[in-house]
Amino acid sequence: MNDKHSEFSLFRILDAALNRTNEGLRVVEDYARLAIDDEFLSTELKRLRHDLTEASKGIERSKRIHARDTVGDVGTEIELPSEYERVPGHEDVGNSDVASRGEWNEGIGGTIKANFSRAQQGLRTIEEFSKLLDVSIAKKIEQIRYRCYSLEKSFNATLFGRSELVDASLYALITAQGDWELRVKTMVEAGVDLVQLRDKDRTDQEIVAVGRKIAELTRGSNTVFIMNDRADLANAARADGVHLGQDDLKVGDARRLVGPSKVIGVSTHSLAQAKQAVSDGADYIGVGPVFPSTTKHFEKHVGLELVKEVAAEIKLPMFAIGGITLGNLPSVLDSGARRVAVSGAINQADDVGHVVREFRRCLTQ
C-alpha cells in the first residue's frame, strides 16, 4: 500500500467495520448477560470479541485512528425508516424462562437480528479488505465470521425457542409394551407435553408402525411426539422430532434428515456436553441420569449437582431425567430444573392419568 490515499481509505474502512462489528456483538452480549442471564452464551460472545481483537492486531490501531473521519463520513447523513424500527425476529414469543420475566417486547427479536447482521456484515468487510494487508488476518476473520453465524443459531434457539417447548414441562418416555396405546391416550388426555417412543427390542418396521399409531394419538393435541435415537424412523413414523444420545447422529446430520421444522433434543451427561448441544443447534437437552432408574441402566449417575450447573449457565429448555418420581421431584425443582422427563413413575402407575396430572400440578404451581 504505497499510495497514501489508498492506505488512508483502507484503514478508514477497516476502522469503521471493526467498530461496527464490536458494537453489534456487544449489544447481543449485553442481552445474553443482563436480560436472560445466560452465562454460556455471554461467555461465547465475549470470547468472540476477544478473538476478533487478537486477530485484528495486525491492523495497526494508530493508523485506524488517524484515518477515522466521523464528521466527514457521508454515511452518517443517510437514514432509512427501517433503521429505527425493530420488529420481532421470530414469529414465536419464545422461551418461557425469558417471557415470564416480562422483559420481552415486540422489538427485541428485531434488535437481536439487526445486531447479529451488523456484526456479520462488518466481519465480511474486514475479511475482504484485510486481504490487502495480510492474508493471514483475513483467514482468521473468516473463521470468526463462521462462528458468529453458528452463535446466532444457538442464541435464537435459546431466546426464541420452539413454540412446542415454550410451556412444556412434562416429558414421558414409553416403550410399546402391554397396553401402551391406552397409556399414551391417557397421557395425552391428562396433558403430558411430550411423549417419546424408546424401544430397543423391536424391528425398524415394528417401531415405525408403533410410531405412526402414536402420531395418530397425539395429532390435534398439545402433545409433541418424539422418536428416540433414529432420525430416519422419526421421518417414517411422522414424529414431531427426534431425541439423540451421545453416540447417535450429530445434531447437524440429524437436521439434514428431518428438516428444519422438527424438534431435535440431545441427551447430555456433563456441562461440556450440554454446552456442545447448544452450540450444535439442539432445541432442548436432557440432563442426567439424576437418580437410579428402573427402566434404564447407567453405570454412573450425575445427580442433582449437574442439573444445578446446567440450570445456572444454560437457558435452552432442559429436562432433568433419570429415576424422577413424585417423591423426589421437589429436590429436582430445588436444583433449578423446571422440566422433567419421566418413564417408570408414569408407565408403572396404576392410574397413569392421575400421576401425569400430579406431575403437571407440581411443575406448574
Per-residue pLDDT tens digits for 253-305 = 999 999 999 999 999 999 999 999 999 999 999 999 999 866 555 556 789 99
Q: Catalytic residue at 261? A: no
Catalytic residue (one of 296, 308, 357, 360): 296
End-to-end Cα separation, the chain, in angstroms: 67
- CATH fold for the domain made of 163-364: TIM Barrel (3.20.20)
Per-residue pLDDT tens digits for 147-156 = 999 999 999 8
DSSP category for residue 87: -
Q: What is the pTM of this model?
A: 0.81
3-state DSSP assignment of residue 145: helix
Q: How confident is the model at residue 141 (pLDDT cuts 50, 70, 90)?
A: very high
Q: Catalytic residue at 250? A: no
In which element (H, E) is residue 286 found?
strand 284-287
Residue 319 CA to residue 263 CA, distance in Å, equals 14
pLDDT of 93? 40
DSSP for 32-62?
Answer: HHHTS--HHHHHHHHHHHHHHHHHGGGS-HH
Which of 26, 260, 30, 24 has its CA nearest to residue 157?
A: 260
Please give the single-letter amino acid code of residue 227.
M
Residue 1 CA to residue 347 CA, distance in Å, equals 73
Which residues are CB-contacts of 4 (< 8 A; sequence separation ≥ 6)? Answer: none
- Cα 130 from chain centroid? 33
Residue 320 CA to residue 323 CA, distance in Å, equals 10
Per-residue pLDDT tens digits for 159-192 = 877 888 989 999 999 999 999 999 999 999 999 9
Catalytic residue (one of 56, 267, 293, 335): 267
Q: How confident is the model at residue 34 (pLDDT cuts 50, 70, 90)?
A: very high
Q: Would the CATH topology of 4-159 be identical to that of 163-364?
A: no
pLDDT of 103? 43
Catalytic residue (one of 124, 198, 238, 360): 198
In which element (H, E) is residue 341 found?
strand 340-342
For the chain, which residues make up each domain, given as ranges?
4-159, 163-364
- In the predicted model, is pLDDT for residue 95 greater than 50? no
Q: How confident is the model at residue 2 (pLDDT cuts 50, 70, 90)?
A: low
pLDDT of 70? 73
**1.10.3470, 1.20.1260, 1.10.600, 1.10.287: CATH of 4-159:** 1.20.1260
* Site of grid cell 418461557: 96
pLDDT of 71? 67
- Give percent above pLDDT 90 in the chain: 77
Which of 263, 200, 212, 202 has its CA nearest to residue 236?
A: 212
Q: Catalytic residue at 198? A: yes
